[in-house]
Amino acid sequence: MSVSVAPARGPAPYSPGLLRRIVTPFVDPGVFDFWVGKLNPAWSWDRPLARVVERRVEALDTVTLVLKPNGHCTGFVPGQHLNVTAEVNGRRTTRSYSLIDVPRRDGRVAITVKRVAHGTLSTHLCQHLRVGDVLELGPAFGAMTLPAQPQGPWLFLAAGSGITPLMSLTRSLAKQGMPVDLTVIYWAKTRAELCFARELRQLAVKFPRFKLQFVLEKEAQLLAGEEAGLISHEQLVRIVGDLSSQQTYACGPAGFVDAARALTAGKVRSFLAEGFTPSAPLSVADAETATVHVHLARSGRDLEIPTNLSILDALEAQGLKPKVGCRMGVCHTCVCTRTSGTTLDMQTGEQDAQPDMDVRICMSRARTDLSLDL
Ligand SMILES: Cc1cc2nc3c(=O)[nH]c(=O)nc-3n(C[C@H](O)[C@H](O)[C@H](O)COP(=O)(O)OP(=O)(O)OC[C@H]3O[C@@H](n4cnc5c(N)ncnc54)[C@H](O)[C@@H]3O)c2cc1C
Ligand code: FES
């Protein structure tokens, strides 16, 4: 069976095709949304919104939210994530969350959110969001997906909330009858923080081709199927056996993903990772702090910004609100065209001065005067 792209469409009460095309020139979407929002906050002229229809505690400090999208939301492929926006303390706040299920017939989607200490959106989603509340969703994106007809052994390495996209992929393989050998190794601090533990155990019993190993870093007493320790090459070899044929996906905090990449480099068939936290910021540019001039072509604004901040942080510090998502270089929501000037990529440390190139302003610092299509 192939991995399908879901229709993922909920009701579209205000998308009546021909009628919509006729009335479009006369409609102000903001005014429309204001009035229909009083009837149903998930209705909108063109914004992809989703209502929370179920909220359940998944693990310690972690909730799963089942969402019913309106007609403007698009489909997804297992393993992908999307940007979720909510108003927190009067500010629109956007972060990326992975979809944990396979596409469903009723178009509902689910995310599992772990509360990060002092985290803006995760705290709001875990502690304050209620059934009936509405979130804005961006389109699904991400390359950590499976081929239409998966072959060969797969190895999923998950740490903490990094289990979410790998759970979606595991469910997708289970739905296909587990056509490949799959090993999931899932690190958490304690048993109470494991998500989907019961379902994963049941799948491991049901499918002989599915091997599961929980690794708990801070649990005093271990049960069957659990072991202790941080990720190591010795541990991977012991659990997996021959690494050389494994197609490997790793997901979790940046430190975990970096360790997994280093430990498997040159030893596995393929490796793809998704970090849920930003990698350590570069410090090189800090030594050379200066102020440069930035011209924002679309809005016609000119400002001075420092070179020791990301362009995004620098613009926000001056009251501007560019489009933003993950703030860690993953979602590409903040991308804009740099028409002239030099920027420094904070992840690679490389400078680039080619005109008319796309830059992620959350991960770029200015090195010279710039002109941006913003
Ligand atoms: C592609 C992608 C998919 C993601 N999928 C999920 C998911 O399915 N479930 C999920 O719970 N999270 C997921 N995340 C992380 C999520 O986007 C947020 O970063 C996280 O919820 C924290 O946001 P916040 O607004 O609460 O914290 P912020 O207010 O942005 O940050 C507060 C502090 O916490 C630190 N921090 C930020 N993120 C994390 C984190 N993940 N772990 C530990 N510390 C952090 C920051 O450095 C900062 O110091 C994903 C991230 C990416 C990039
Ligand atoms: S905000 Fe996601 S890449 Fe910049």
Residue 27 has pLDDT above 80, yes or no: no
The answer to whether residues 251 and 144 touch, using CB atoms and an 8 Å cutoff, is: yes
**C-alpha distances out from residue 262 to 150, 245, 271, 349, Å:** 25, 17, 10, 19
Q: Is 148 inside any structural domain?
A: no
Q: Is 339 inside any structural domain?
A: yes
Residue 284 has pLDDT above 60, yes or no: no
Q: Is 31 inside any structural domain?
A: yes
Q: Is the CB of 328 under 6 A from ligand 1?
A: yes
Please say which residue of 233, 257, 275 terminates a domain. Answer: 275
Ligand with minimal distance to 347 CA? 2
Amino acid letter for position 293? H
In this structure, the residues whose C-beta lies within 6 A of any atom of ligand 2 are: 324-327, 329-334, 360, 362
CA distance 108 to 53: 9
- State residue 366's pLDDT score: 95
Ligand with minimal distance to 195 CA? 1
Q: Is 4 inside any structural domain?
A: no
- State residue 280's pLDDT score: 64
- State residue 187's pLDDT score: 98
Q: Is 143 inside any structural domain?
A: no
If asked whether residues 328 and 299 sit together in one domain, one would say yes
If asked whether residues 302 and 260 sit together in one domain, one would say no
Rounded average pLDDT over 127-133 = 96
If asked whether residues 263 and 368 sit together in one domain, one would say no
Residue 292 has pLDDT above 70, yes or no: yes
pLDDT more than 90, % of the chain: 72
If asked whether residues 293 and 241 sit together in one domain, one would say no
CATH number at residue 241: 3.40.50.80
Rounded average pLDDT over 202-225 = 96
Q: Which tokens is 334 given?
A: 């903040």
If asked whether residues 77 and 132 sit together in one domain, one would say yes
- Ligand 1 pocket test, pick from 121, 122, 123, 186 with the greatest ligand atom count within 8 Å of Cβ, gives 122
If asked whether residues 217 and 293 sit together in one domain, one would say no
Ligand with minimal distance to 119 CA? 1
If asked whether residues 221 and 303 sit together in one domain, one would say no
If asked whether residues 113 and 159 sit together in one domain, one would say no
Please say which residue of 247, 275, 303 terminates a domain. Answer: 275
Q: What is the mean pLDDT of the chain?
A: 88
Residue 10 has pLDDT above 60, yes or no: no
Other C-beta atoms lying within 10 Å of the C-beta of residue 283: 8
> Whole-angstrom distance between the N-terminal and C-terminal Cα of the chain?
44
Whole-number Å distance, alpha carbon 210 to ligand 2 midpoint, is 35
Q: Is the CB of 248 under 6 A from ligand 1?
A: no
- State residue 13's pLDDT score: 42
**CA angle at residue 169 from 167 to 123, to 5 degrees?**
40
Number of domains in the chain: 3
Whole-number Å distance, alpha carbon 331 to ligand 2 midpoint, is 5
Residue 54 has pLDDT above 90, yes or no: yes
Please say which residue of 275, 299, 331 terminates a domain. Answer: 275
Task: Classify residue 323 by burial, with Cβ atoms within 10 Å: 0-12, 13-18, 19+.
Answer: middle
Q: Is 208 inside any structural domain?
A: yes
Q: Can you tell me which residue has the tokens 């490389």?
A: 350
- State residue 316's pLDDT score: 93
Whole-number Å distance, alpha carbon 312 to ligand 2 midpoint, is 9
CATH number at residue 316: 3.10.20.30
Whole-number Å distance, alpha carbon 22 to ligand 1 midpoint, is 42
Q: Is 7 inside any structural domain?
A: no
If asked whether residues 318 and 257 sit together in one domain, one would say no
Q: Which tokens is 296 given?
A: 């924002």
Whole-number Å distance, alpha carbon 314 to ligand 2 midpoint, is 15
- State residue 283's pLDDT score: 53
- Ligand 2 pocket test, pick from 81, 92, 327 with the greatest ligand atom count within 8 Å of Cβ, gives 327
Q: Is the CB of 246 under 6 A from ligand 1?
A: no
If asked whether residues 26 and 71 sit together in one domain, one would say yes
Higher-confidence residue: 16 or 242? 242
- State residue 35's pLDDT score: 66
Rounded average pLDDT over 158-181 = 98
Whole-number Å distance, alpha carbon 292 to ligand 1 midpoint, is 31
Residue 3 has pLDDT above 60, yes or no: no
Residue 8 has pLDDT above 60, yes or no: no
pLDDT more than 70, % of the chain: 86
Owning domain of residue 209: 154-275
Q: Is 3 inside any structural domain?
A: no
Residue 40 has pLDDT above 90, yes or no: no
If asked whether residues 267 and 226 sit together in one domain, one would say yes
Q: Is 316 helix (H, G, I), strand (E, B) or coil?
A: helix
Q: Which tokens is 175 given?
A: 């739905």
The DSSP 8-state label assigned to residue 366 in this structure reads E
Residue 288 has pLDDT above 80, yes or no: no
Rounded average pLDDT over 150-174 = 97
Q: Is the CB of 96 under 6 A from ligand 1?
A: yes
pLDDT tens-digit map of 66-91: 999 988 778 899 999 999 999 999 88
Position in ligand 2 atom list of the atom nearest CA 96:
2
Higher-confidence residue: 286 or 17? 17
- Ligand 1 pocket test, pick from 95, 144, 251 with the greatest ligand atom count within 8 Å of Cβ, gives 95
Q: Is the CB of 256 under 6 A from ligand 1?
A: no
If asked whether residues 42 and 96 sit together in one domain, one would say yes
Residue 5 has pLDDT above 50, yes or no: no
- State residue 201's pLDDT score: 97
Residue 15 has pLDDT above 60, yes or no: no
